[in-house]
Amino acid sequence: MINVACVNVGPAYEDKYVDVLHAMVTEYLPMDFKFFCISDRERKVHHSIEMLEAEPNLPGYWNKVSLFKRGQFTGPTLYFDLDIIVKGDLSFLYKHMYTDFVSIRGFSGGPTYNSSVMLWKPKKCYDIYDWFKPRCIKKFPTDQEFITAVKGLGHFFPKEQVVSYKLNKSLVKEASVVVFHGQPKPTDLDIPMVTKWWGSK
């Protein structure tokens, strides 16, 4: 059993993004899972999705920090941003199930994680939440730099399995997860891996 989580806070993503992510995970994750969504309001989503209340002092994507709160999850936990596309078998995750923390290497070229996809053992990552203070929002450009500062660079997903649509188009065909950081977003594109879930424009 694994936990799968997402964050939907603020007006950027309609409820359907949560349901689409849930559907993709259901198709491609070959293990039992529980699906959670941290949100600042009620959402009309699939009945099996458990809603978790966002923390009011954490704006937008900074709510990812609350994923690591003590007692939030038990057992291996996988996080996806809402603007990713899962397009292939996720069984490659098995070998990372008991790594303390694993993520994507930052796409900017700097020495950071990218927090679009993360997998962790909750008891080994309480420090991310425990070390957070409101001033961190001003000190660090994003949650990614903060998480990197707390955990230090360590384990990364295989670069051919989790790829950037913008930077690694040649790897997209064979990848399992495609990350849409910046622009374009999936719903801007009329391509099969998007229309399968969102329909044609």
Domain ranges of the chain: 2-198
User: At the topology level of CATH, where does 2-198 sit?
Assistant: Spore Coat Polysaccharide Biosynthesis Protein SpsA; Chain A (3.90.550)
pLDDT (mean) for 171-191: 95
Tokens of 128: 């991310």
Tokens of 62: 């900074």
Q: How far is it, in rounded angstroms, from Cα 160 to Cα 133?
A: 35
- Give the per-residue pLDDT at 141: 94
Look over the chain and give the mean of its residue pLDDT values, rounded to a whole number: 95
Lowest mean per-residue pLDDT among 12-16, 87-91, 109-113: 109-113
- Give the per-residue pLDDT at 109: 75
- Confidence bin at 57 (pLDDT 50/70/90): confident
pLDDT (mean) for 37-57: 93
Find residue 4's DSSP bridge partners.
Answer: 35, 78
Asked whether the predicted pLDDT for residue 201 surpasses 80, the reply is: no
What are the pLDDT digits (tens) for 32-46?
A: 999 999 999 889 999
- Give the per-residue pLDDT at 139: 96
What are the pLDDT digits (tens) for 110-166?
A: 899 999 999 999 999 999 999 999 999 999 999 999 999 999 999 999 999 999 999
Q: Are 136 and 147 spatial neighbours (Cβ–Cβ below 8 Å)? A: no
Residue with tokens 């996080």: 79
